[in-house]
Chains A and B, each alone.
Chain A
Amino acid sequence: MLQHGPLLERLLAGDFICQISDEDAFRHLGNEQTQQDINHYLRPLNRRLVSNDDGSVFYLGYHELTKEAREHLSSQFALTVQSLLPLLEWLQLVQETLGRDSALTAGDTIKLQEFVLRTEDNQSLRQRLNALASDRFFNSQSEQLDSQVKLIFRRLKEHGYLLQPHSERQYYIVTGKIDHLLDVIRFIRDEEQLPVDDTPSQEALL
């Protein structure tokens, strides 16, 4: 277990481990024996490893759902629900602004400057960004495009959706936590049978 010290610390701190955020650790977590060892170690802390369905991201959940655990999960779920729309709007905005033909996925790189430049000259993108920045999830007080964008990206970095490889260079990589977000959305949609399609209709295919 000794060699997994830094990984355990990251997991305990609430980090999501994916191929992008920590390639080595992610590879170790793919090993069933390591998973068992980690779960065994975490048992007294009432924690266990959890991964999403396709195993692209790992994080810690509660082993036993005590009253305190449920309370924490409830408040966290409320935050997640609150963050859904701003995150989805951000995903759409990035896709449209950068002229990408598909949604962001783990491993995609976003250059902050390019994003700012393209938003600057487009009134409608500018307005949407403005509305997004003032959403309480991002909570920007600024009127300046540059600082709004920086704040949005910083907040997403804090939430683990983005990785900034060099702190002084303004480019970001999308992490596997975005997969988790989409899994959550898909789950809610399926569970509540929301009228939200993700397969093109037959006419669209033809």
Chain B
Amino acid sequence: MAPLDSQLTSNLFSIGAERLALLGKHHKALMQGYLDGQVDETAFSEGALKKLIAARILWRPDEQQPLALRPLVSELIASMVADENRRQINADVAEKLEQIRNRVQAYRDAQYKGDYSVAELQLQRLTEHVHDLSGQFEEAIDSLWHRLNSDFGFVSSLDDKIRENERAQKQLRRLLDGLDLLDFNELIELSEGNNHLRKLLVSQLQNQLSSHHSSLLEVQKRLVQLLAKFRQQQARSMLIANMAAFLRQHPKYQPADYPNRSELPSLFNQAAAIRPQAAIALDKASERAVLAELVRALPRPGSIELPEQHSASFAELLADEEITARQQALKTDVENFYLRVIDQGGKLSALDYLAQQQLSWDSEIWLYQILAEYQALPLEEKQMFAIRREEAPASSVNQLLLIRDIQLTLRAA
């Protein structure tokens, strides 16, 4: 029996390895098939397709259907990439438990017969089943946590999230029911008198399953909380949308006068604001130092700016007026001088007139103004007057002639 067995094993090994390699060889096309729900047959050669179908990787669900991945392969990928849309949870415990019972029986039989190599093999299979059972829960719990922690982000709408959450809760209930099927008294009985079995079925499995159990309860709690939150969000969205629609349809809508009800709803009891004001207190001597400090810290204006611009222009205006007035007076006096000449009809000395009239003008300005007035006269009038300047050199060495006096004479017409 042993050689046959080993031949079978080596046969299995070569087929398995070859078929696993197929997965690797066509990984891209297969993954695309996973995403699309069907494989593109043109991406494979005919031979490759045959091999993939023979390896039970691809199948044709129906004559008319395109080739697709076998469910188990899809499930494998979903589990590997934690694709919560496709990941499946296997909550079937009864079947596993049955297998464990059978293996224990086979193991005991082999031991009884003294066939130790078979017993060894059965023990190994049993160990695998026990790990499978535990792994099945672990996988399910991982998937549940993953969905919880992503807030069911793999579906987009709130309604979908609520449906997904409810589906997860059902899965969870099945898992908990499955755990209930495990009767540790039975397992203790099964392993009686055998250290290996006791270690495997009692201490190890029990430990694992009790930790799975508490994980599942925690997940359940969180799922229920999250569902409540989803429902609350949904209710909020609906309330907002429906109330807005109602108010749009009834623009004149006016609710009852709640603020004047005898029993005021606390929602509408919002008091008017009071804003506390404070000012500097001067009555506390102890705070004066602080106040002084504050005052000193005030930013000081650079310098006191008087409206200089304004006063300056005012003074200028005043001075202008004064000068204009003086000029006007000078002009009037000079005109009177000309009039005197006309009245007199004779020759008149400008400086004599100045002295005679006791005018306060500076002689030089007086003379200058008389000349200026003469120059300003129209030509005919100029000819009425004969003007003669009495000039003298500035000094014996300077030949510049200075006007000493002016004699004005009315010419006979």
Task: Give the B-binding residues of A (Cβ under 8 A).
Answer: 9, 12-14, 45-47, 50-52, 59-62, 65, 69-70, 72-74, 76-77, 80-81, 84-85, 88-89, 91-92, 95, 101-103, 105, 180, 182-189, 191-192, 194-200, 204-205
Given contact pairs A187-B267, A192-B256, A92 touches B244 in the complex (Cβ within 8 A): yes
17 A-B pairs with CB atoms under 8 Å apart are A13-B273, A45-B274, A47-B271, A59-B270, A60-B270, A61-B270, A72-B272, A73-B260, A73-B268, A74-B257, A74-B260, A84-B247, A85-B247, A95-B237, A191-B256, A194-B243, A198-B236
Given contacts A77-B258, A103-B236, 4 further A-B contacts (CB under 8 A): A47-B271, A60-B270, A70-B260, A187-B267
Given contact pairs A88-B247, A192-B256, A196-B239, A77 touches B268 in the complex (Cβ within 8 A): yes
Cα separation A70 to B247 with both chains bound (whole Å): 26
Given contact pairs A85-B248, A95-B237, A102-B236, A12 touches B258 in the complex (Cβ within 8 A): no
- The interface residues of chain A, by DSSP majority, are classed as helix
Q: Are A192 and B271 in contact (CB under 8 A)?
A: no
Residues on the A chain within 8 Å of B158, using CB: 101-102
B244-256 vs A, CB cutoff 8 Å, 1 = contact: the mask equals: 1011100000111
Given contact pairs A92-B241, A197-B242, A198-B238, A187 touches B271 in the complex (Cβ within 8 A): no
Q: Are A50 and B275 in contact (CB under 8 A)?
A: no
Given contact pairs A47-B271, A199-B235, A199-B238, A81 touches B259 in the complex (Cβ within 8 A): no
Contact of B264 among A73, A81, A192 (CB under 8 A): A73
Report if B234 contacts A (CB, 8 A).
yes
Given contact pairs A85-B244, A192-B255, A187 touches B265 in the complex (Cβ within 8 A): yes
**Number of residues on chain B facing chain A (CB within 8 A):** 41
Given contact pairs A50-B269, A62-B269, A12 touches B260 in the complex (Cβ within 8 A): no
Q: Are B239 and A52 in contact (CB under 8 A)?
A: no
Q: Are A184 and B267 in contact (CB under 8 A)?
A: yes
Q: Smallest Cβ distance from B249 to chain A, in angstroms?
A: 10
Q: What's the count of A-B pairs with C-beta under 8 Å?
A: 129
Residues on the B chain within 8 Å of A184, using CB: 267-268
Given contact pairs A88-B243, A92-B244, A189-B243, A182 touches B236 in the complex (Cβ within 8 A): yes
Cα separation A181 to B239 with both chains bound (whole Å): 11
Report if B233 contacts A (CB, 8 A).
yes
Closest B residue, CB atoms, query A59: B270
Residues on the B chain within 8 Å of A69, using CB: 271
Report if B360 contacts A (CB, 8 A).
no
Contact of B267 among A60, A91, A95, A183 (CB under 8 A): A183
Residues on the B chain within 8 Å of A12, using CB: 273-276
Q: Smallest Cβ distance from A36 to chain B, in angstroms?
A: 17
Residues on the B chain within 8 Å of A196, using CB: 239, 242-243, 246
